[in-house]
Amino acid sequence: MADTADKNENNVPGSLYNDYSCIDCGLCPEIAPQFFTRDDDEGYSYVYKQPATPDERKKALVAIESCPTESIGFDG
């Protein structure tokens, strides 16, 4: 499970976040590119936009459930 104390500083504020255990596999930006992006230089993904609608939250939950390192958290 993602660690709230280890949130990536590049995440936009809100309930959806990636922590620094991310290995930049690219799965979350592939599943939900409207919320996640990659930092190729640093080697991790992070949240650049928070989900706002129920449908968007469902899409974010698919990314959370698919994350192989459990690096995505949702405090909402």
DSSP conformation class of 19 = B
The answer to whether residue 38 sits within a structural domain is yes
The answer to whether residue 1 sits within a structural domain is no
Can you give the pTM of this predicted structure? 0.92
Give the number of other CB atoms < 10 A from CB of residue 57. 16
| CATH number for the domain that contains residue 11 | 3.30.70.20
User: CA 5, CA 21: separation in Å to the nearest integer?
Assistant: 12
**What averages of pLDDT result for each successive group of 10 residues across the chain (76 residues)?**
93 97 94 95 94 95 96 91
Q: How many domains does the chain have?
A: 1
pLDDT of residue 10: 96
Which residue in this structure is represented by tokens 């990536």?
8
For 42, the domain range is 6-74
User: CA 11, CA 54: separation in Å to the nearest integer?
Assistant: 20
pLDDT of residue 40: 87
Write the pLDDT tens digit of every residue in 4-19: 999 999 999 999 999 9
pLDDT of residue 52: 96
The answer to whether residue 20 sits within a structural domain is yes
